[in-house]
Amino acid sequence: MTIRYLLLSLCALLALAACDPLAPDPTAAALQRAARQATITPLLPTAVPSLTPTITPTPTVTPTATPTFPPTPTPYRCPEERGQTVELSFFSQIAQQSFVYRAYLPPCYAETQRRYPFAILLHRQGGDQADWTAVGVQRAYEAALKAGEVPPMILIMPAGGQLADQNIFAEARSWASVILDDLLPAVEKNFCTWNAREGRAVGGISRGAFWALYIGFRYPELFGAVGAHSPALYEDNAPPEANPLALARTVTFPLGAQPRFWIDIGAQDELEPTVTQFANTLIERGILVSFTRYPGGNHDIAYWTEHVREYLTFYGQLWPHDVRDLPSCLE
């Protein structure tokens, strides 16, 4: 029994030893040693830096209104190519007689209802209302109008008879007084004219040029342009207060009231030296003058015919070319 008891006790001890949980497991021990010897750094994904762009704010655009321009008006186109010449008369209270005058009306005058500028054109000594027709004024004007060289205008051509040839200068009975006090009101009553200094011109050939200069010097407030074509100027045909040769040395104009002057003469004209000196006197005194000495010209119809188109261009130089820019005849 004792032996059996010993054997049983031995077996129990062996069984307990085999089941000792603290007995080292060789595999686990090795892993534990490796764990103690090495520090394992976990592999984490490398962060890729963000490439998010920096956004610059777009400036706010303030809307602007597109400017609206009025349409360019179409220039007035007159379907007519020819004007009309009419002949009328007026009674002069100054001379106590009637005078005849021609009026050239430009194409489409009757339908436009506008106030037209006008030029009073005076004849030579012994001439009449037909003188300017003889130098081709209508033909020259219509050619220049078609070419765009002149504006629409009315041409007034009076016949002065013997009074225009006489050296009478008293305001009560001179040809100049008839023009200013009788002819001018008749024209402005009978036609739709631009009744202001800016809308009037006066000019003449030979003796008519003398009267145009006299009027321009004495009454500058009435006419904006004065044309003297081969002016018949003599020292002894008028007193100093009426003679353009003398007036050229003394005349003065109110501020803003100096007319534009045109003077021309042919080189073969016997009056050329006198007219040239006259023009130079005005120029030296600072008076606005366009002076032309044409080579070869004489004191005759042929000379004036050659240059009449230039005369008309001068008269109309500052007048509107579009008839719609003229004052209304209804006002």
Q: How confident is the model at residue 66 (pLDDT cuts 50, 70, 90)?
A: low
With respect to residue 125, please indicate whether it lies within any of the assigned structural domains: yes
**Band of pLDDT at residue 170, cut at 50, 70 and 90:** confident
Nearest Cα to Cα of residue 299 among 243, 210, 229: 229
Question: Does 279 map to a domain?
Answer: yes
Domain-located, residue 96: yes
In a domain, 238, yes or no: yes
CATH number at residue 289: 3.40.50.1820
Please report whether residue 23 resides in a domain. no
AA letter at 293: R
pTM, full prediction: 0.78
Who's near 47: CB < 8 A, 6+ residues apart?
Answer: none
Structural domain of residue 198, as residue ranges? 82-323
Q: Summarize pLDDT for 79-137 with one digit per residue, the tens.
A: 999 999 999 999 999 999 999 999 999 999 999 999 999 999 999 999 999 999 999 99
> Does 39 fall in a domain?
no
Rounded to whole angstroms, the Cα distance separating 220 from 85 reads 28
- Which of 241, 238, 236 has the alpha carbon at shortest distance from 217? 241
Residue 73 predicted with pLDDT over 80: no
Q: Quick one: pLDDT at residue 183?
A: 99
173: confidence class by pLDDT, cuts 50, 70, 90: confident
The total domain count for the chain is: 1
Nearest alpha-carbon partner for 307 in 271, 270, 277, 262: 262
The answer to whether the CB of 294 falls within 8 A of the CB of 267 is yes
Model confidence pLDDT, tens digit, residues 200-242: 999 999 999 999 999 999 999 999 999 999 999 999 989 999 9
CB 80 within 8 A of CB 108: yes
Task: Say if 185 falls within a structural domain.
Answer: yes
Three-state SS for 321?
A: coil
In a domain, 146, yes or no: yes
In sequence order, which residues have a C-beta less than 8 Å from that of residue 261 and are 6 or more positions away? 216, 225, 226, 227, 228, 282, 287, 288, 289, 290
Residue 226 carries which DSSP code?
E
Q: What is the pLDDT of residues 291-312, one digit of tens each?
A: 999 998 999 999 999 999 999 9
